[in-house]
Structure 1
Amino acid sequence: MTRLASSDFPFTAVAGQEPLKLALTLCAINPQIGGVLVSGPRGSAKSTLARGLSGVMPALQGEELAPFATLPLGTSEDRLLGALDLKQVLQDKNVVFNPGLLSKAHGGVLYVDEVNLLADHLVDQLLDVSASGVNRVERDGISHEHAARFLLVGTMNPDEGELRPQLKDRFGLMVELVNQYSLEERVQIVRLRDEYDQDSQSFCDAFKYKQRNLKNSIRLARQVLAQVRCSDELRLEVATRCQLANIDGVRGDIVWIRAAMTHAAWRGAKVVALDDIQAVEDLVLAHRRQAKTQNPSPPPSPPPSRRPDDSRSPSLNNSNQPQDDLSQDSQKNEQNGSGEWGSMAPQTLASSSPINVAVHGAQSERRSFQSLTGEVTPGKRKGKQQSGYRPDAAQSVDIQAANGIDWFRSIVSQPQEWPPKNLTHKPNKTGQPVLHLVLLDTSASTLSQGVFAQAKGVILDIANRAYLSREQITILGFGQDSVSSILPKIRAPKEISDLLENLGAGGGTPFRAAMENASQYLTQQHKATTDLHSQTYILTDGRTQADVSGLVLPGNTVLIDTENAPVKRGRGQDIAQHLGAQYVLLNSLLETVL
């Protein structure tokens, strides 16, 4: 939806955040760079600068202001791409195309707040159009295409989830912001904001000359850009730095050269210098730089709190050590927060073969795992849709009405009726997006008797089945007194054994923090994709004293108890009851396999 840019806080009035200002200015000069991704916490001026950009962008010929369109998270494909103009159809009986947000953003800015929460089907459309610069619509009896060249600006809070890798790579530049300011900066920011709130029109008028000068500078830089040249020596320098950063493909090289040439044009030069290369390096590599694969680290030295000959040390090679001793150590750690195991360095343990959680049954006193979970088995759910976030949605909403009316078919099937009496609804979707969230206990207590390796085997099976069904998976680990991302949300990879092989365990069990993170993450995912079905797998030995009251995980949840002891010291079953999760013993799965 467009709006007058002059009503926004002026771009030139924002205090600080120079890296973001530079990134936005470069992309305004040269949209071929590919847009800007802004990552940062709340209160770091992400949205303010993004909205203010169109106020300093030179507009297309015949337009006073550069267009600005906001893409809401819950928008429809019709609103994004454009669709049949029903008013024209009903009044004039003409099939007319009604432009969407992509058309309105042409020549200006398409802004997506919380882009990491954008629904996948909208992400796919954005990828196609941003790559070609043309929006092609073939639907509802319409065959239409129009130019859609815009500057894509996306903002995200990294605490609210990862961005889909394909879309992240499509952004040319990325800026990572912090909201830590000096006292002087805080005073200046508050003063400027207060002046704007008291009289926005007078405030904007005070900055109109700065705004106009910046717009003229961008226009001049666009003219100079066509004359800028980059030597082969500097191209080689860029290629070398990209290789050292271990980035995938050559898109980073291309964007880097374009950004450096644009920076040269911005300062009025016609030849790229090394300073131009360095000025944009962090912006280009922020979301592309990858760590090189490391060889497995050597076994850690014994914890300083134990004697080297202490037979009670949790050794990976001693599978026969007394279970009671391990339990006592674990309980001390969980109660004190800094016990011997809590201070233990992470240790790796090879994963077992995949353990088929979808086929093998549980003990006789429990239903089989398959019947327990019903919809746990990875695979596209067919037929009537049920949202994992709102299980009762199918009962309260007419499915056909929710899918919308197919106006084109309704009209052409009744050419003599005006308006048509019988409406044809769009067909129900037979598939549903599925997300598998795996919460893996990586605390030191899981190292006993190989249960950590067996838990990895369960994850291998979940990932393999999700891969075959082309579904998404996220893996979070909680151990070493922290919650960490092991695998961000992606379409399940074909092979993750190497990732799991090098995964270590150690330290305490921050169970409640892990569940709170998972609850917040799932809520955000269901908000972004209303018909999402989420399945959460909690693999833990239950060795925690954490309070689990009040915790709720959207969707279906299964707790797989990995504790391998005749007498249960963990709280797996109690935790599952509090979470409303289905409870399954890992031992029962192993007994079926054996």
Structure 2
Amino acid sequence: MNKAHFPFSAVCGQDTFKLALVLAAINPAIGGVVISGPRGSAKSTLARGLADLLPAHLSSDTTTDSNSKSELLDAEFVTLPLGASEEMLLGTLDLEHVLNEKTVRFSPGLLSKADGGVLYVDEVNLLPDNLVDLLLDVATSGENRVERDGISHSHRSEFLLVGTMNPDEGELRPQLHDRFGLSVQLDNQYSPLERVEIVKRREAFDQNSTAFCQAYAAEQELLLTRIKKARSVIADVKCDDQLRLVIAERCSEAQVDGLRADIVWYRAACAHAALNQRSDLSIEDIDAVEELVLAHRRKAVSPSQQKNDSRPPQEPPSQEPPSAPENKHGFQRPDDSQRQAPKLGDKRQQDPESEGEWGSMQPQQQKTLETVALDLAQNSQEALFSSSVKTRSVVAPELSNRPDWFSTLLSSLPSWPPKQLKFKSRRQSEDLLHLVLLDTSASTLKAEGFAHAKGALLQISNQAYLAREQLALFGFGNNQVDTLLPKLRAPKELGKWLDNLPAGGGTPMREVFIQAKTYLEKLQRQNPQLKIHSYVLTDGRSSSSLEGIQLPGELVWIDTELSTVKRGKGQRFAEELNATYLSLAGAC
């Protein structure tokens, strides 16, 4: 007997999440739903409850027996564990059949079991990227094709993919995030009355799940009927070109990449119209799904979003010219005419570089200098880029502890059982991440230090790109830490983007190291084999202490202060962190 799930209709609140799941159930071609939210926000409860609302389906034949007949099956809720392998997901050789019958047969995986139901991935952001790629490919095509271990097999695999993630455990790679059709951002901020009602319903379900489910049976049946009816009429929903143009214009305003947003938006809007028994698409349907489609793709706020923004507008920066003229290096000193004399004991009197005049500057830009020639292997026993240490020598592949059954069968024919097992080779390539901490505070503008730092960053990015390695970029300035580039494959062109990156404000030195340490430790929990090379590009002008902070992996401190007499503390900081110290003064 299957364990009862908490009814979908009995969950309090989370109307946006419910809508996203229902739309994806009506049209699985939308491409799945990814939900980001903290613990205790009903992510898994709603995902499990959705399986009860999916119509029964005909089974797909995953065997080679032509006499097998399809039967009507209820939708299943299938969970993909974090430790799953490709064989568990896709399917593999049926070893029992091979041992008994001496013939090759396919053994279905989780994708076959999930056909017609829900495939649920908890903490999808911690799942290896290759498995997420495979999942999304099959979810889009509706077919699982396996070509491995001497097997050539395909079967239907139409399921609703639901991925949940806790942003505190790390972000999903942007390319993978984009491939999910809809995205929902949840919070667990409930009113006191809602919290009381949620607890009461949970207690009632735990005490007598059968009676509780029967109490919501009518609502469940009504929603199931609406989904079935919407599935039957969605193909007849019409959309005129004017509304298609509205979708295209809003996607353009949001500066989304590619056309996936346009396609998903149209499909989701049609599903919304079908759910409400409308044969013609309306602007209401387009508005209803906008945030679900653009939440994880938007790069710019659209005018429609700005109208709904209740935050007060920020005051424009002062238009008064600075008291000091622009100097030959292209930066402006802040207007200090209104500054008061510091009181005795004021920190700013003791350390003018920490806040003072630099911290009061408005952000300014400096063009990237591409002439920086930094020796990243200097003073290091090993070059920091894998491409610089690769050799042409042939090395025997290291074997893993995973048996290669197909190779074992081939090597043992015609005798059986095999005299020796063959094992699969361990993956040779190592994941390598280059994390760059770029000082974007105002003091780096002096003597074009920020421009030189951008040049060094560009060199790091270019070498990582050639080595097909990953890059992440944190900026620390304006008294805050920003993720300027999330973890991604190093881009081919970064120069133009860097030209528009401004610098200004104070230097939150300790804060950026604390955030970097937390970020890297999470990545290492996700992938223990991940190699990390970190770089700090800063002039070292900060009164912060870095005592007690150690970043995992290798660390290089690149001093961007170009003057002969150093006012910053770069070398001292590098010694504190046990980092390799380099200076841009000799590289420009």
Residues 55-87 of structure 1 show CA distances to partners (whole Å, capped at 9, x for unaligned) of: 222231445531222223332211221112223
User: Which of these residues, 189, 196, 206, is aligned with residue 187 of structure 1?
Assistant: 196
8 Å Cα contact 1:330/1:445 also seen in 2? no
Structure 2 SS opposite 1:184: helix
The answer to whether the 8 A contact 1:382-1:431 is kept is: no
Give me the whole-angstrom Cα distance separating, in 2, the residues matched to 1:578 and 1:104: 54
Q: How does 1:89-128 map to 2 (within 5 A)?
A: 89-128=98-137
Note if 1:47 corresponds to 2:44. Answer: yes
Residue 113 of structure 1: how far off its partner (Å): 2.2
User: 1:91, 1:576 → 2: CA distance?
Assistant: 64
8 Å contact kept, 1:111–1:152: yes
Q: CA deviation at 1:51?
A: 2.5
| Structure 2 residue 281 is the aligned partner of structure 1 residue 272 | yes
Q: How far apart are 1:495 and its partner, in Å?
A: 0.7
Q: CA deviation at 1:123?
A: 2.7
Residue range with higher mean Cα deviation, 276-285 or 451-460 = 276-285
Q: What residue number does 1:210 align with?
A: 219
Q: After superposition, where does 1:169-184 map in structure 2 within 5 Å?
A: 169-184=178-193
Q: Taking structure 1 as reference, are residues 581 and 418 closer, same or farther at Cα in structure 2, changes over 3 Å only?
A: farther
Change (3 A) 1:373 1:346: farther
The alignment partner of 2:200 has SS state of helix
Q: Report the identity percentage.
A: 52
- Alignment correspondent of 1:484: 482
What do the CA deviations read for 1:478-506 (whole angstroms, capped 9, x no partner)? 11111111112221111111111111112
- The letter of the residue matching 2:559 is D
- Mapped contact 1:370–1:376 kept (Cα < 8 A): no
- Residue 200 of structure 1 and its aligned partner are, at CA, apart by 4.1
Aligned residue for 1:347?
A: 364
Contact persistence 1:354–1:460 (CA under 8 A):
no
Equivalent in the alignment of 1:431: 429
Distance 2:151 2:390 in 1: 29
Q: Note if 1:473 corresponds to 2:501.
A: no
Cα offsets for 1:343-373 (capped at 9, x unmatched): 322121111115343xx37xxxxxxx34516
Q: 1:310 to 1:228 in 2, by over 3 A?
A: closer
- Cα gap change, 1:337/1:109 in structure 2, threshold over 3 Å: closer, same or farther? farther
Name the counterpart of 2:79.
Answer: 70
Structure 1 Cα separation of the partners of residues 278 and 371 of structure 2? 59
Helix, strand or coil for the counterpart of 1:87?
Answer: helix
**1:513/1:314 CA distance change after superposition, 3 Å:** farther
Q: Give yes or no for contact 1:477–1:483 (8 Å, CA) kept in 2.
A: yes
1:26 counterpart = 2:23: yes
The CA deviation string for residues 380-432 of structure 1, in whole angstroms up to 9 with x for no partner, is 9769xxxxxxxxxxxxxx95234x22111122212255332322222233322
TM-score normalized by the length of structure 1: 0.84
Shift of 1:438: 0.9
The 3 A distance-change label for structure 1 pair 317 and 248 is closer
* Cα separation, 2, equivalents of 1:564 and 1:257: 54
Q: Name segments (4+ residues, structure 1) moved above 6 Å.
A: 311-315, 328-331, 333-337
Shift of residue 332, structure 1, vs aligned partner: 5.3
| TM-superposed deviation, 1:459 | 0.7
Match of 1:233 in 2: 242
Residue 445 of structure 1, aligned match among 443, 446, 451? 443
Partner in structure 2 of residue 386 of structure 1: none
- Listed as ranges, the gaps of 5+ residues in structure 1 are 294-298, 320-327, 362-368, 384-397
Which aligned pairs between 1:253-264 and structure 2 lie closer than 5 A? 253-264=262-273
Q: SS where residue 562 of structure 2 aligns?
A: coil
Alpha-carbon distance in structure 2 between the residues aligned to 1:431 and 1:410: 25
Match of 1:325 in 2: none
The equivalent of 2:311 in structure 1 is none
CA distance in 2, matches of 1:332, 1:311: 25
Q: Which range moved further: 102-111 or 334-343? A: 334-343
Q: 2:34 aligned with 1:37, yes or no?
A: yes
CA contact (8 A) 1:107 1:148 kept: yes
**Residue 443 of structure 1 contacts residue 478 of structure 1 at CA under 8 Å; is this kept in 2?**
yes
1:30 deviates by 1.0
Greater shift in the superposed pair: 446-455 or 84-93: 84-93
For 1:381 and 1:211, how far apart are their aligned partners in 2?
61
Which moves more between the two structures, 271-280 or 61-70?
61-70
Q: Are the equivalent residues in 2 in contact too, given 1:354–1:461 (CA < 8 A)?
A: no
The corresponding residue for 2:337 is none
- Indicate the SS of the match to 2:291: helix
Separation of aligned partners in 2, 1:183 and 1:76? 43
Contact persistence 1:333–1:342 (CA under 8 A): no
In structure 1, give the amino acid aligned to 2:222: N
For residues 235 and 22 of structure 1, what CA distance do their matches in structure 2 show?
22
Q: Distance in 1 between matches of 2:26 and 2:389?
A: 47
Give 1:315 deviation, angstroms.
8.0
Q: 1:191 to 1:356 in 2, by over 3 A?
A: farther
Q: How does 1:388-403 map to 2 (within 5 A)?
A: 400-402=399-401
| Aligned residues of 1:11 and 1:49 also touching (Cα < 8 A) | yes
C-alpha contact 1:482 1:510 (8 A) present in aligned 2: yes
Moved more, 575-584 or 279-288: 575-584
* Residue segments in structure 2 that go unaligned for 5+ positions in a row: 59-70, 303-315, 334-341, 392-396
TM superposition shift of 1:455: 1.0
1:34·1:173 contact (CA, 8 Å) conserved in 2?
Answer: yes
What residue in structure 2 maps to residue 376 of structure 1?
A: 384
Q: Is the 8 A contact 1:173 1:283 kept in 2?
A: yes
Q: Kindly indicate whether the alpha-carbon contact (under 8 Å) linking 1:83 and 1:97 is maintained by their aligned counterparts in 2.
A: yes
Q: Which amino acid aligns with 2:161?
A: L
User: How far apart in 2 are the matches of 1:240 and 1:292?
Assistant: 13
CA distance in 2, matches of 1:233, 1:457: 46
**TM-score using structure 2 length:** 0.84
* Aligned equivalents of 1:73, 1:267: Cα separation in 2: 37
Contact 1:330 1:543 in 2 (8 A): no
Partner of 1:15: 12
Q: 1:191 to 1:459 in 2, by over 3 A?
A: same
| Structure-2 separation of matches of 1:117 and 1:444 | 37
For the 8 Å contact 2:30–2:267, the answer to whether it is kept is yes
Letter in 1 for 2:323: D
Partner of 2:587: 589
Q: What's the offset of the Cα at 1:541?
A: 2.1
**In angstroms, what is the RMSD of aligned CA positions?**
3.2
